[in-house]
Chain A
């Protein structure tokens, strides 16, 4: 045996079975009340920001009519926002639960469905809305768009229009943190669809090999665009794939923000302490279609109904009421505050000018017209 491997460490790592390896979940203290309210606020920010994008400002209308409700905020169909918009609605608990476990200088790489990841990490709504409207005041000066929200200050290393490309970028940020001797941690958000890309496997492998401080957050929302996970995954749980790379894999209820927080805290703590990477699979659901705001290309009303009953915001609000943390009135107040904030963001964006060609942020040595 020894001549075969000759590496005790390797064998020990191989003995760790992904799904079975338990994270010290109990070690994560529950967030203080102030943070609980902030978590709800962030979830609402994500939801209302996106509702505005797609004319779903009145979410109930979407439910009752099962169709896009056009109104003055229906930017997508009116062309105020151009291009594809991939909504995060239904998955808010994941980004908010994970971000609550992160420090401000930790890194995040994100997917095409990235508004939630950015808002949860602290991105301001005004510049984000302006970016989606292609304005000069956008967080990427109008050069990024919906799929490319960056912030150096917040450690946001961008969304990505290439499915799975963000996963190696995250291990690069983790590599950088380890190299520089910093205690920063990196998170890669991706879907179960991306877990079928080679980049997922290569990145998990190298992260485990070099014990990089990274947390892989797979949001399994059951659909890759409109293709059901059951016809693309050879095993039911993406988390089990961690075992193949010698890292813990953990299945998390992605509709329960506190469950996500607990799992993420343990994984982040493990990474920060030099324990290496963790794979979290958050079971969740996309309430709208792959892009835009239709009923869902999955178009399975029965399935949708089941998941709408597990709306992460409704679940969390109930939990906070049951625990006596907030009253219904306080929650309504918070919702109104967020709606006002979103309105402000819309006004800010609409009142911002479009960028001009000369303002494109290129380096001085770029000869655009060569």
Chain B
């Protein structure tokens, strides 16, 4: 299979969907090549990409209005941290309009946002904010961990009739080329994937957590058989695939970049415990970042984030 980087896979999905559907366009800051003022609209229309002023609240609200009236916007929030200035159009407008309109008005909108720490960018460019969206009914939340899923999930997100938050981890931007199918390749929302089969412990990785879990599994190969499950979408969450894995292994660890407190790991464990308490042989655990703003200094940032060595240790802890 030919190989693409994570970002190439996302771009290919968007290009193909634009070709397939005239109503798909992209809008956000600093995302196009337009340099000249005259005929601004026509230049944007030609590339179906609108470079906006720095007005996240304004252009995200614009996107919601466009989605309500026949278009399928892909709205780019350059860093996930910037959603702090445009949460209203996302959680109060896009997420709620379908229900508040009695189901009459759909909001087929993708919010695409690079996120995550590990890039030495400090407290305003390192956020892992997926739980904000998971906690807002009416949104779907997608977090691909490799180029293959990045392409297939982007296509599903664009084709979905509701608002989808598509979070791409900045560390994964640099993961190198991986196999990615050409042409029509769609990964359904709400379907987890087993990224590495194993029998001793289930490690659920979220986004870059999958990469770290796979590295840890490799390190432990021969000693502990680790099964790595990637939920791929947090809403809807494919809890059945996770339960099936836990049924096999009896042990559960969740790994993500976001702080543990109030995080998606806690949510995944709630779902597993409610449905499969009896499947667990030991207490499950979440490995996440510490409860602080992300510090800049590389050794400090590394100390605040779960590293592959921490995953190895946490696996041993869970197994006791």
Contacts and interface: CB of A to CB of B under 8 A. Distances in A.
Nearest to B38: A9
Contacts of A173: 65-66, 68-69
Given A9-B38, A162-B92, A203 B61 contact: yes
Interface centre among A141, A158, A175, A206 (most CB of B within 10 A): A175
Interface string A150-179: 111000011011100101111111111111
Given A144-B101, A162-B88, A367-B236, A168 B41 contact: no
Contacts of B320: none
Interface in A174-231: 174-180, 186, 198-199, 202-203, 205-206, 209-211
A109 interface: yes
A168 B103 contact: no
Nearest to B239: A370
B40 A209 contact: yes
Interface stretch (A25-33, A289-297, A308-316, A355-363): A355-363
Contacts of B66: 172-173, 175-176, 179
B121 interface: no
Contacts of B239: 370
A118 to B, nearest CB: 12
Contact of B71 (A148, A151, A179, A370): A179
Interface stretch (B49-57, B141-149, B221-229): B49-57
A242 B104 CA distance: 34
A152 B104 contact: yes
B71 A206 contact: no
Contacts of A139: 102
Contacts of B101: 140, 143-144, 148, 150, 152, 158
Interface residues of A, number: 55
Interface in B46-103: 50, 52-53, 55, 57-71, 88-89, 92-93, 97-103
Interface string A121-155: 00000000000000000111111100010111000
B45 interface: yes
B20 interface: no
B309 to A, nearest CB: 34
Contact of B65 (A6, A170, A362, A365): A170
B6 interface: no
B271 interface: yes
A107 B60 CA distance: 18
A34 interface: no
A7 interface: yes
A140 B57 contact: no
A10 interface: yes
Interface string B4-41: 00000000000000000001010000000000011011
Contacts, number: 162
A310 to B, nearest CB: 34
Interface in B99-150: 99-105, 137
A169 B53 contact: no
A370 B69 CA distance: 30
B237 A107 contact: no
B53 A206 contact: yes
A5 B319 CA distance: 66
B100 A362 contact: no
A10 B93 CA distance: 32
A129 to B, nearest CB: 15
Contacts of B57: 168, 198-199, 202
Interface in A228-276: none
Contacts of A199: 57-58, 61, 88
Contacts of A161: 92
B88 A165 contact: yes
B62 A203 contact: yes
A206 B37 contact: no
B190 interface: yes
Interface in A330-370: 360-363, 365-367, 370
Nearest to A10: B37
Interface string B229-268: 0000000110100000000000000000000000000000
A172 B98 contact: no
B84 to A, nearest CB: 13
B187 to A, nearest CB: 15
Contacts of A6: 37
Contact of B68 (A160, A169, A366): A169
A165 B65 contact: no
A173 B66 CA distance: 5
B3 interface: no
B152 interface: no
Contacts of A177: 69
A206 B65 contact: no
B67 A172 contact: yes
A366 B67 CA distance: 19
Contact of B58 (A205, A366, A367): A205
Contact of B69 (A9, A107, A142, A165): A107
A165 B25 contact: no
A150 B65 contact: no
B55 A179 contact: no
20 contacts: A139-B102, A150-B100, A152-B104, A152-B105, A162-B93, A165-B88, A169-B65, A169-B68, A171-B65, A172-B67, A172-B68, A173-B65, A174-B65, A202-B58, A202-B61, A203-B58, A205-B53, A360-B99, A363-B98, A365-B189
Closest 10 CB pairs of A and B: A172-B65, A168-B61, A361-B103, A202-B58, A140-B102, A150-B101, A169-B65, A202-B55, A141-B102, A176-B69
Given A173-B66, A206-B59, A209-B40, 16 more contacts: A9-B37, A9-B38, A143-B102, A150-B102, A157-B69, A157-B105, A158-B100, A169-B64, A171-B61, A175-B66, A179-B71, A202-B58, A202-B59, A206-B58, A362-B103, A370-B239
